[in-house]
Amino acid sequence: MLGAASVGQARAAQAIDGWPGIPKAAWVWGEPLLRPQDFAGLCARQTIGTVFLYTSPAGAEALLGGRGPAPDVVAGLRRQGVRVFGSLGEPDWADGPARLPEHLALVGRCVRAGLLDALHLDVEPQARREWRDPGARGALAEGTMRFFAQVRANWPDAEIDAAVNPIFAATQGADGALLDGLLRSVSSVSVMAYRSRVERALAWAEPSARACARARRPWRLGVLVEPNPDEPGTSWSSAPRDDFVGGCAAMHAGAAALGPGLYRGLAFQELEALRRMLEG
Instruction: Give the per-residue pLDDT at 11.
Output: 53
Per-residue model confidence as pLDDT tens digits over 134-177: 989 999 999 999 999 999 999 999 999 999 999 999 999 988 99
> What is the SS3 assignment for the chain?
CCCHHHHHHHHHHHHHHHHHHCCEEEEECCCCCCCCCCHHHHHHHCCCCEEEEECCHHHHHHHHHCCCCHHHHHHHHHHCCCEEEEEECCHHHHHCCCCCCHHHHHHHHHHHCCCCCEEEECCCHHHCHHHHCHHHHHHHHHHHHHHHHHHHHHCCCCCEEEEECHHHHCCEECCEEHHHHHHCCCCEEEECCCCCCHHHHHHHHHHHHHHHHHHCCCEEEEEECCCCCCCCCCECCCCCHHHHHHHHHHHHHHHHHHCCCCEEEEEEECHHHHHHHHHC
Domain boundaries of the chain, sorted by first residue: 22-279
Instruction: Give the per-residue pLDDT at 8.
Output: 45
Instruction: Give the per-residue pLDDT at 15.
Output: 59
Instruction: Give the per-residue pLDDT at 118.
Output: 98
pLDDT-above-90 percentage for the chain: 89
Instruction: Give the per-residue pLDDT at 157.
Output: 97
Mean predicted confidence (pLDDT) in 105-130: 98
pTM score: 0.94
Cβ-based burial of 62 (10 A; exposed 0-12, middle 13-18, buried ≥19): buried
Q: Using 50, 70 and 90 to split pLDDT, how confident is the model at 5?
A: very low
Instruction: Give the per-residue pLDDT at 36.
Output: 83
Residue 1 has pLDDT above 90, yes or no: no
Q: Using 50, 70 and 90 to split pLDDT, how confident is the model at 97?
A: confident
Mean predicted confidence (pLDDT) in 202-231: 98
- Superfamily of domain 22-279, CATH level 4: Glycosidases (3.20.20.80)
Instruction: Give the per-residue pLDDT at 175.
Output: 84
Instruction: Give the separation between CA 269 and CA 165, rounded to whole angstroms.
Output: 13
Question: CB of 156 within 8 A of CB of 150?
Answer: no
Residue 2 has pLDDT above 50, yes or no: no
Residue 98 has pLDDT above 90, yes or no: no
Instruction: Give the per-residue pLDDT at 58.
Output: 98
Residue 79 has pLDDT above 90, yes or no: yes
Instruction: Give the per-residue pLDDT at 194.
Output: 98
Instruction: Give the per-residue pLDDT at 10.
Output: 43
Residue 68 has pLDDT above 90, yes or no: yes
Per-residue model confidence as pLDDT tens digits over 40-60: 999 999 999 999 999 999 999
